[in-house]
Amino acid sequence: MVNQMKLEFLNRSENESFARVAVSAFITPLDPTVEELTEIKTAVSEAVSNAVIHAYKEDEKGLIQLECKVDSERRVIIIVSDHGVGIEDVSKAREPLYTSKPNEERSGMGFTVMESFMDKLEVVSGTDEGTRVTMLKKLDKAYGI
């Protein structure tokens, strides 16, 4: 690894924007394209939002961890994890339009969006064991180098 950072914050919806900005600031020295930066910010937003909405029981306060790593090959690895209720069926949860909270006007597109914007997406979860979402994106070559 060339550089890495780790944050931990409460499962509050306002922390989704904090996480998005923190990752953006962290990878800015790599000089990503506007498109790359937008895609990464969107994927982080979806992963953190999923953890805020689904990881813990209603009104339960819990922590979300965000890790971001970059390596010498300009790969950005982002890990969003929690110690919440977990996902019973990860394959089902990754299906487009699936939501475990249909009464709350959720689109069920979070994992689909993450998968479409990142080069690799891995979801590891278990009931009452929390969830770990790992995303990887390889950035294009730096401009002018």
Catalytic residue among 11, 15, 39, 50: 50
pLDDT at 104: 64
Indicate the CATH number for domain 3-138.
3.30.565.10
Who has greater pLDDT, 145 or 143?
143
Q: What type of residue sits at position 82?
A: D
Q: What is the pLDDT of residues 14-33, one digit of tens each?
A: 999 999 999 999 999 999 99
What is the C-alpha to C-alpha distance for residues 9 and 15, in angstroms, rounded to an integer? 7
Answer whether 139's CB lies under 8 Å from 119's CB: no
Q: What is the pLDDT of residues 27-54, one digit of tens each?
A: 999 999 999 999 999 999 999 999 999 9
Domain layout of the chain by residue ranges: 3-138
Position 145 pLDDT exceeds 50: no
Catalytic residue among 67, 75, 106, 115: 106
Position 62 pLDDT exceeds 60: yes
Q: Is 106 a catalytic residue?
A: yes
Catalytic residue among 11, 46, 74, 132: 46
Mean pLDDT of 114-123: 96
Q: Is 46 a catalytic residue?
A: yes
Q: 23 is written with which tokens?
A: 């990752």
Q: Is 50 a catalytic residue?
A: yes
